[in-house]
Amino acid sequence: MAEYAIVTPIEFKCLLGAVPKLKHRMALDTLCHTGLRYNEYRLLAEHPEWFSAKNREIVLPAKATKTKRDRNIPLTPAFSQKLELWLSSNKLSAPSMQGMDKNLQRWCEVAGIKRISVKTFRKTWLTYLLMSMPEKADLIYASMGHSREISARHYLIMTGTLKNEIEAVKEAVRGWNT
C-alpha cells in the first residue's frame, strides 16, 4: 500500500519521466488529471465517446460509476486538449489494476519516489482541486462522485505535503470548470 496519499507535481513529473511507454504515461496523466477510479478509467478506455472535447468533460453514465449515478468530470483546457489529441489516433491503455500497480512500483523505484498505487491519483487530484479552489468544494466533491461528508471521511487531504508547490498545483488545475 502507498506510504502517503498523494504525489506532488514534482514527483509526478519524475514518475512520468520513469515511464518508458507513451501509452502508460497517458494512462497516468489521465488518472492524475481526472480523479477517476481505476475501474472507471478502464471503462473510459473502452468507451472514449464518454469524453466530450467540446464541453471539456468526461460524462460517466450511471452504469460506470460506483454510486450508480451519472457523473460529469470537468477537465482543464490543457488536459482536455491532450486527451482529444491522444484519442484521435490512439486508445487508452488499461492493464489490470494489479498490473498497473506492479508497473507503478517499478516506475517509482526508477523515479526515486515513495511507493504509490493507482488509488493515489484520485486522492492527488481531489487535493489539488481543493487546495486551489476551496470555494468550489461541493462541485469538486460531485465531480469525484462524493458528498462533502463522504470525502471528508475517505480522504486525508495532505496539504502540508504540497505547501512548497502551491503554484505548481494551481497550474495543474488551471481552467478546471471555467
CATH code where residue 64 lies = 1.10.443.10
**Angle value at C-alpha 41, between 158 and 130, nearest 5 degrees:** 25
Q: Is residue 155 part of a domain?
A: yes
Q: Is residue 112 part of a domain?
A: yes
pLDDT tens per residue, range 117-134: 999 999 899 989 988 998
Q: How many domains does the chain have?
A: 1
Q: Is residue 2 part of a domain?
A: no
pLDDT tens per residue, range 134-150: 899 889 999 998 877 77
Q: Is residue 178 part of a domain?
A: no
Q: To which residue does cell 496523466 refer?
A: 29
Q: Is residue 3 part of a domain?
A: no
The pTM of this model reads 0.90
| Residue span of the structural domain in which 163 resides | 9-173
Q: Is residue 1 part of a domain?
A: no
State which residues of the chain have pLDDT below 70.
1-4, 152-160
Q: Is 74 helix (H, G, I), strand (E, B) or coil?
A: strand
Q: If phi over 0 gives left and psi between -120 and 50 gives alpha, with beta otherwise, what is residue 12?
A: alpha
